[in-house]
A and B are shown apart, each in its own frame.
Chain A
Amino acid sequence: MIDPIHFVVFSSILLLIGAYGVIRNKNAIVVLMSIEIMLTAANINFVAFSSYYHDLTGQVAVLFVTTIAAAEVAIGLAILLSLFKQRDTIELDLLNTLRW
């Protein structure tokens, strides 16, 4: 029997993987992808508890999250594209003009 605990542990692992990707990666596109992983972790929680409580609200929330994530990726990629036009790079470590 698959308990909610399994989903929770799985989504936590996914979240940590995403976070690790955000922290460690230097390529902005990979960071965006990692953020998507973290969103997926949240979605899994929603779906798991939705089915556990027989409540569709969670699944509706997932639809919203997916939509917003898509929009977010579109904007993020557009930013990266114009950034690349200006700076010829999307290496995050090189984009540090605001440091102290």
Chain B
Amino acid sequence: MSEKDLDSSNVDLLVTIFGSLALALGLLLFLVQEDGTSPVNVAWLIPVFSIVSFVLILLLGSYDPRRGGSIAVIGVGFSSVFSFGVAYDVLINDVTNGGYIESTRIWFGGQTFAFEFGTYIDGLAGLLLLVVGFVSYLVVVFSLGYMVKDGDRQVRYFAEIALFVGVMLGLVIANSFLLMFIFWELVGVCSYLLIGFWYEKPSAASAAKKAFIVTRVGDVFLLLGLVILFNTFGTLRYSELFGDPELLSENAAAVKWATLCIFGGAVGKSAQFPLHVWLPDAMEGPTTVSALIHAATMVKAGVFLVARSYPLIVHSPDTALYIAVTGGVTAFIAASMAMVMYDIKRVLAYSTISQLGYMFLGLGAGAWAVWHAAESGIEIQAQGYTAGLFHLMNHAFFKALLFLGCGAVIHAVHTQDMRKMGGLRKAMPITSTAMGLGVLSIAGVPFFSGFWSKDEILEAVHHNWEAEGIFGALWWLGLLTAAMTAFYMTRLWMMTFSGPAFHEVEEVIPSDDHSDSGNWKVLKKEVKIQAHEAPLVMTIPLMILAFLAVFSGFMVFLGEGFGSVVFYGTPPSSEGPIQWGLLDHILLSSLTYLSVLVGLTGVILGYLFYKRGNDGQTPFSTAFVSDNIVTSNLHTFLSNRMYMARLFDWFGMRTWDTLAMACDWFDRNIIDGIVNGIASITEILSGQVRKLTSGFTGHYASLTIGGLGALVVITRVVFPLMGWSL
């Protein structure tokens, strides 16, 4: 099906989308009316819809004109509508009253304990449901346009993506660490499948393997953490674990190691230093998958896990500090590498790692503040917790926007190298505007969403500085990262969209005297960029996301404020429909102005360095990188990803290969020696024994009679002589 066909059948697409959404809403209202209660009671249906649609796509996908796309849109649509219902009830109607609502069933039981499955809905789960449900749905709709060229293989794509969304939603609403772990692993499997979607490309296959194996390192830690928790407390249910703070503080050592191990799982899943290496390679999958992994699923699971374990982490200052340091360092390192990458998706990948680092920085600082407040007996709310999750939400919107925009660009120019782009602004007005808004948002330009959340995180970190010096260093790192973020995002936009709509292409052709001399010459010619705007099914999700990327930050003020529904500890006091006090606080703080200054500096530097001239070149940055020995060396260092991939390779060569060779020698010589030795001894013996089978009847008869005779002699003569009896 070509794009033209898709456009002509847009009517049936609209019917599918709006029909399924209306149907889902109807079903939700019917169920709620039937129960006479809130959608929270049917929350367990949320993952079920997507997972059922996964099965249906596998069975029926090839009969669908959109190759399973319609079923995926319907299934994920149902999940999304139910997610919204639950999120609405939790976040707006506040049915949980700041606590949680749990429903549970016995899964299987033993004599002393029973494993249970069920749902655990609180503000955090509500927020994640909102973000995951919304972004995933837009990504699936966008995929309908983006994946068309893959033909029948879309069946596999849509099946996997429906499962991906389903298990992520399941992870969010699970009511115990065990159930969460199951979904956690399923998320890992789905990301493996989707990153390796174009498995015939060796780079995609190895990227998928890398993602799976690297996250597996983290998952082992997570499992270890859960084992520690179960051994200490005998349960993995959230409500039972979190319900007894005194028990937690009595077992401080166990909680410390358990939370450190759990954070290890988050480090793997959320691609934090030093397990960040898989995420940039994960760009090998379709861009929509990258958008899903970066904005809604997979990497957000790590942040969710840390936020979910907050009641445990606040009892362990070491873990909180470790989380904050990991987050700060990762944010800085990833941002520095993002500044020099030329692959547009890799820039975004490093930017995601960096922003996730921000979230962990906020969460860690918040947990530390809670612990410190409890130690010194002051009332404090975990500002870092709210800030980190606020950033998670904003990041989901603007990063999904950036990735989908980037997908539209790649769809149009068929390359990922930003050096070969440029001048796309006129050709793709909607995409370039939407991405521009996303860039401004992530760069922290005032009043865009990224500004509010990044500022809150930095403030939470700065707040801890008085009590613990290390947060001062982290604050400076965060501030520096903010500048770098602004710089590399501006660079991305300028390199992709600015400049003339013509390209100078160098082509090597045989020169005039080629037949005699074999000489080649370089012909420079101008080509007009062949890009065109993406179809509506792709641009509409972009517009919706752009709207959210700009305005989602205001959620912190509107209504009771973001902090009053997603919080840890005591919620801040509400001041009516608009939180003027918070706005005053932000606008009057000197920290705000500092970070605005830093962000704008980054934007301006990025603009100056990477504005394409009339010839499409960026002379200033080229000169800056190549002329100065310090900057050129730094550029090489960062371009090679700080040599970390090579360090891992070298480490692998030295240790694992040596170990493998030793095992190989042992296997070949010792194990094989034993096996072969036994075999050859048996062979020699049997070679002798088989000669008894001579084929002469007389021989057999003699042996029988001789044997009988020997038996008689032994029993009748030898035994009595020796004094034995039978």
Which of B690, B691, B695 has the most chain A CB atoms inside 10 A of its CB? B695
List A contacts of B702 (CB < 8 A): 23
The answer to whether A93 and B696 touch across the interface, beta carbons within 8 angstroms, is yes
The answer to whether B705 and A23 touch across the interface, beta carbons within 8 angstroms, is yes
A54 touches B (CB below 8 Å): no
Q: How far is the CA of A97 from the CA of B702 in the complex (A)?
A: 20
A-B contact pairs, 7 of them (CB 8 A): A22-B698, A92-B696, A92-B698, A98-B693, A99-B693, A99-B694, A99-B695
Give B709's nearest chain A residue, CB to CB.
A19
Partner-B contacts on A (CB < 8 A): 19, 22-26, 31, 92-93, 95-100
Interface of B is mostly: helix
Known: A100-B690, A100-B691. A31 touches B705 (CB 8 A): no
The answer to whether A19 and B701 touch across the interface, beta carbons within 8 angstroms, is yes
What does the 1/0 interface line of B695-725 toward A look like (CB < 8 Å)?
Answer: 1111001100100000000000000000000
B717 to chain A, nearest CB (A): 16
The answer to whether A22 and B690 touch across the interface, beta carbons within 8 angstroms, is no
List A contacts of B701 (CB < 8 A): 19, 22-23
List A contacts of B697 (CB < 8 A): 31, 92-93, 95
Q: How far is the CA of A100 from the CA of B686 in the complex (A)?
A: 11
Q: How far is the CA of A80 from the CA of B471 in the complex (A)?
A: 103
Partner of A96, one of B690, B695, B705: B695
The A-B contact count (CB < 8 A) is 33
List B contacts of A31 (CB < 8 A): 697
Contacts A23-B701, A93-B696 aside, 7 further interface pairs with beta carbons under 8 A come to: A19-B701, A23-B705, A26-B698, A93-B697, A98-B695, A100-B694, A100-B695
List A contacts of B693 (CB < 8 A): 98-100
List B contacts of A23 (CB < 8 A): 698, 701-702, 705
Interface size on B, residues (CB 8 A): 11
A20 to chain B, nearest CB (A): 10
List B contacts of A22 (CB < 8 A): 698, 701
Q: How far is the CA of A61 from the CA of B691 in the complex (A)?
A: 40
List A contacts of B690 (CB < 8 A): 100
Q: How far is the CA of A11 from the CA of B509 in the complex (A)?
A: 112
Give A93's nearest chain B residue, CB to CB.
B696
The answer to whether B698 and A96 touch across the interface, beta carbons within 8 angstroms, is no
Q: How far is the CA of A97 from the CA of B695 in the complex (A)?
A: 7
B178 to chain A, nearest CB (A): 62
Q: How far is the CA of A96 from the CA of B701 in the complex (A)?
A: 14
B702 to chain A, nearest CB (A): 5
Q: How far is the CA of A25 from the CA of B702 in the complex (A)?
A: 12
Q: How far is the CA of A92 from the CA of B705 in the complex (A)?
A: 18
CB-based closest 4 A-B pairs: A99-B695, A96-B695, A100-B690, A92-B697
Q: How far is the CA of A69 from the CA of B695 in the complex (A)?
A: 26
Q: How far is the CA of A92 from the CA of B697 in the complex (A)?
A: 7
List B contacts of A19 (CB < 8 A): 701, 705
List A contacts of B698 (CB < 8 A): 22-26, 92
What does the 1/0 interface line of B667-705 toward A look like (CB < 8 Å)?
Answer: 000000000000000000000001101111110011001
Give A19's nearest chain B residue, CB to CB.
B705
List A contacts of B694 (CB < 8 A): 96, 99-100
B509 to chain A, nearest CB (A): 78
A29 to chain B, nearest CB (A): 13
Give A97's nearest chain B residue, CB to CB.
B695
List B contacts of A26 (CB < 8 A): 698
The answer to whether B691 and A96 touch across the interface, beta carbons within 8 angstroms, is no
List A contacts of B695 (CB < 8 A): 95-100
B260 to chain A, nearest CB (A): 68
Give A96's nearest chain B residue, CB to CB.
B695
Q: How far is the CA of A98 from the CA of B699 in the complex (A)?
A: 14
What does the 1/0 interface line of B313-332 toward A look like (CB < 8 Å)?
Answer: 00000000000000000000
List A contacts of B696 (CB < 8 A): 92-93, 96
Q: How far is the CA of A96 from the CA of B699 in the complex (A)?
A: 12
Q: How far is the CA of A49 from the CA of B581 in the complex (A)?
A: 125
List B contacts of A92 (CB < 8 A): 696-698
Give B703's nearest chain A residue, CB to CB.
A23
A27 to chain B, nearest CB (A): 11
List B contacts of A100 (CB < 8 A): 690-691, 693-695
Q: How far is the CA of A2 from the CA of B507 in the complex (A)?
A: 126
Q: How far is the CA of A29 from the CA of B705 in the complex (A)?
A: 20
Q: How far is the CA of A19 from the CA of B697 in the complex (A)?
A: 12
List B contacts of A97 (CB < 8 A): 695
Q: How far is the CA of A92 from the CA of B693 in the complex (A)?
A: 14
Give B696's nearest chain A residue, CB to CB.
A93
List B contacts of A99 (CB < 8 A): 693-695
Q: How far is the CA of A24 from the CA of B705 in the complex (A)?
A: 13
Give A15's nearest chain B residue, CB to CB.
B705
A41 to chain B, nearest CB (A): 13
B96 to chain A, nearest CB (A): 83
Q: How far is the CA of A46 from the CA of B683 in the complex (A)?
A: 48
Give A38's nearest chain B residue, CB to CB.
B705
Give B690's nearest chain A residue, CB to CB.
A100
B706 to chain A, nearest CB (A): 10
Q: How far is the CA of A31 from the CA of B697 in the complex (A)?
A: 10
Q: How far is the CA of A38 from the CA of B514 in the complex (A)?
A: 107
Chain B residues 2 to 23 lying within 8 A of chain A, measured CB to CB, are none
Q: How far is the CA of A88 from the CA of B262 in the complex (A)?
A: 85
Q: How far is the CA of A61 from the CA of B705 in the complex (A)?
A: 23
Q: How far is the CA of A35 from the CA of B30 in the complex (A)?
A: 95
Q: How far is the CA of A22 from the CA of B697 in the complex (A)?
A: 8
A72 to chain B, nearest CB (A): 16
